[in-house]
A and B are shown apart, each in its own frame.
Chain A
Amino acid sequence: MNSLNLKQGSSRKSAYDLKNPLDEREETHTLAVLVDNEAGTLARVIGLFSGRGYNIDSLTVAETDTKGHRSRITIVTTGTPAVIEQIKAQLGGIVPVYRVHDLTVEGPSVEREMALLKVVGTGEKRVEAMRLADVFRVNVVDSTLDSFVFEITGTSEKIDAFSDLMRPLGLVEFARTGVAALARGNT
């Protein structure tokens, strides 16, 4: 390829045989991002994910300190370990962000999500829906002669399981909040 007949480097290893260190398995992490609640902060956080091609599996946000105008954003994201590290570093670089916690690695944490499910039906299906709601300790927050609105709180997996059961029983509408999470213990 090189008619000047020059040495093409003296490395003993063929560089082409090296494996891509970034080619690793994906993990799911829950991040708590503490931010100043100023205009545009959420847009900046979301723009970071869309602009750099990161995943958002779930996102919740609300002001948690009204006096200090601070909000907590909980993001569930999936990526290789290198990408997760990069996400955290990039989030940390956003000016109104003052802390990024990776709840998945910082120790045990609790994660909860709330969902509302509207189930429409009569007869056997209605009875079965009510029975399963009992098993899952789900609240009925609205009911008519042929419908229920159930309120369920729990892990995302529990909500997935319950909604899967409701689907054949007449699930017509489904709203979920996304994950809120806190570290366990007194830290």
Chain B
Amino acid sequence: MSREMTGARIVIEALREQGVDTVFGYPGGAVLPIYDEIFQQNDIKHILVRHEQGATHAAEGYARSTGKPGVVLVTSGPGATNAVTGMTDALMDSIPIIVLSGQVPTFMIGNDAFQEADTVGITRPCSKHNWLVKDTADLAQTIHKAFHIATTGRPGPVLIDIPKDVQFASARYTPMNKASKGHYAPQLKGDIDAITAAVKALETAKRPIIYSGGGVINSGAGASQLLRELVSATNIPVTSTLMGLGAYPASGENWLGMLGMHGTYESNMAMHDCDYMLCIGARFDDRITGRTDAFSPDSLKVHIDIDPSSINKNIHVDIPIIGDIAHVLEDFLKVWKSRGRKTDAAAVKDWQHVINDWRDIKCLAYRGSDTIIKPQYALQRLEALTKGRDRYITTEVGQHQMWAAQFMGFEDPNRFMTSGGLGTMGYGLPASIGVQVAHPDSLVINVAGDASFLMNMQELGTAAQFRLPVKQFILNNERLGMVRQWQQLLHGERYSSSWSESLPDFVKLAEAFGAKGIVVSDPAELDSAIQEMIDHDGPVILDCLVEKHENCFPMIPSGKAHNDMLLGDDSTEGAIDASGSILV
């Protein structure tokens, strides 16, 4: 039944029909009609954030932990511009979010009206697609299309800019099943000849490796399941990007740990020395490849990706397979089984011995201390005390993020949310809020640095208001640690603006927001502090005072190859040359 209703009502109706239960937003003049509709219904919960950037990251956290798109509602002008960072973050990490922004009325567009901004212009490069809806009759159709585009193919952020007069005017509602999807229809099935060629090459590979990424998680639970099946059937070692952690369990026998700039020695060495690389849903990003002309020089490379533009972008691959990971892996396994389940088992076994020698180097080892909490130790204890629980981890950006990736074990997909591609400090707290909204009974922990935490700390107010018991685990080194580390390695130990001066008292800060604050500095008290954080029924900041000058290793310095890793503080002198220092 197609009914006549206002644009504002159409927005709510379309969201409801799309199965949306939560919207993260912030009101303002240009979205008041939509807020008025939100007020008059109970199906969709509105989470009032404290800053629109928080809304976008919360929506990302919601999306990544559920596999459903996150929805954001912001006003025109500053509301929309504040959403830009989160949209860019979602674009880089392929996270489906739908941003609805208010706009000045159509007849005022272009007049530099109050709170007018060219929102579709500003967000064009940071959205998968966006629309300015000028006619209420097109609104429902556009919203349905937006969900389709955000969630299919390579997922990403979309924005719908809705002028205020369009929200007030009435039109017939277009239901989901009547809405045109347009011609956007990404290829799901991979080319079977390419898949067969990839299988054949695997059968004779002597040093194979799987390099998996966020695409496996985006493809859905089935894809992770198929990845696990493939690994256990073929016995291939597997590594993953930051975004892909959890697709293969960290406790799995074939797990090498994360790869890349701060990845494990064994995974980077194996990537460098392999003769067969199966890249599944990753994009050969510069954090992964290091120096591209020295990247895995002897391997045949297979690349499965849903986005054709990811193929051959940074690294030339031998067998590209365009398609959805779950579809392609299913066919891959079918072909491999039908051809007799062959691998060069003896060679693969030898390869694993080589890898085990690399493992024995224990690249994540660090010097422990009885007097001061080492950040790595703090994360090992957090891992030990929360392992096996229904747990979600978010992070901010910096050393703590890399340590979290190194020292926490992710057994399942959708359990680790972090800003990978954009590296957005301030992501973790709002993301933890989005995760907690979606999983009210789960343990949600944001592993934070002191500097990153301050970037969106206002969202503690959101956590308190909506009784979201998010745990903020701050590894407080009173430094912009990752910046300090680079300055130590690259800039002659001139620590330009990389210390956190005038830090707040985080316990008092928590209390000021109505949360619980705990501080710990003695390694002997760490466990009980973590336990207290977990046990408290409400939001908590645990201010964990850690060693101030710890560096994050292993590290592939910018401009170096995978087999040129730094493993400890004593290996760093003169490690990065002038040509590397221009890279980020």
Contacts and interface: CB of A to CB of B under 8 A. Distances in A.
Physical interaction between A and B: yes
Contact of B566 (A2, A18, A39, A82): A2
A93 B563 contact: no
B132 A3 contact: no
Interface in B264-316: 265, 269, 272-273, 291-295, 297-298, 307-309, 311-313, 316
A9 B273 contact: yes
A18 B297 contact: yes
A161 B26 CA distance: 60
A24 to B, nearest CB: 11
A36 interface: yes
B129 interface: yes
Interface in A19-42: 19-21, 36, 39-40
Contacts of B272: 9, 11, 15
A4 B571 contact: yes
Q: What range describes how many residues of B lie at the interface?
A: 35 or more
Interface stretch (B11-19, B118-126, B166-174, B455-463): B118-126
A19 to B, nearest CB: 7
B569 to A, nearest CB: 10
A9 B269 contact: yes
A92 B312 contact: no
A135 interface: no
B312 A93 contact: no
B309 A18 contact: no
A4 B568 contact: yes
A13 interface: yes
Nearest to A81: B312
Binding site of A, secondary structure by majority: helix, strand, loop or mixed?
loop
Given A8-B563, A9-B272, A9-B563, A3 B297 contact: no
A105 interface: no
B566 to A, nearest CB: 7
Contacts of B273: 9-11
A165 B124 CA distance: 43
A126 interface: no
A41 B293 CA distance: 36
Interface string B114-145: 00000011001100111010000000000000
A142 B269 CA distance: 72
Q: What range describes how many residues of A lie at the interface?
A: 20 to 34
B178 interface: no
B193 interface: no
Contacts of A172: none
A97 to B, nearest CB: 9
B149 interface: yes
A93 B307 CA distance: 8
Nearest to A18: B293
Contacts of A90: 309
A3 B125 CA distance: 46
B505 interface: no
Interface string A80-96: 00100110011011111
Contacts of A82: 312, 316
B130 A4 contact: no
Interface in B525-568: 561-564, 566-568
Q: From A2, A15, A36, name the one whose CB has the most chain B CB atoms within 10 angstroms.
A: A15
B299 to A, nearest CB: 10
Interface in A114-167: none
Contacts of A10: 269, 273, 354
Interface string B183-196: 11000000000000
B180 to A, nearest CB: 11
B388 interface: no
Interface in A63-109: 82, 85-86, 89-90, 92-96, 98
Contacts of B571: 1-4
Contacts of B313: 86, 89
Contact of A13 (B132, B298, B354, B361): B298
Nearest to A5: B571
A43 interface: yes
B567 A95 contact: no
Contacts of A20: 292-293
A40 B124 contact: yes
A47 B128 contact: no
Contacts of A16: 293-294, 561
A1 B572 CA distance: 7
B110 interface: no
B504 interface: no
Contacts of B573: 1
23 contacts: A1-B571, A1-B573, A2-B571, A3-B571, A6-B265, A6-B361, A8-B564, A15-B291, A16-B293, A18-B293, A19-B293, A21-B293, A40-B124, A44-B124, A47-B124, A47-B125, A82-B316, A85-B312, A86-B312, A92-B309, A93-B309, A95-B149, A96-B182
Interface of B: 120-121, 124-125, 128-130, 132, 149, 154, 182-184, 265, 269, 272-273, 291-295, 297-298, 307-309, 311-313, 316, 354, 361, 561-564, 566-568, 570-571, 573-575
Closest 3 CB pairs of A and B: A9-B563, A15-B294, A89-B309
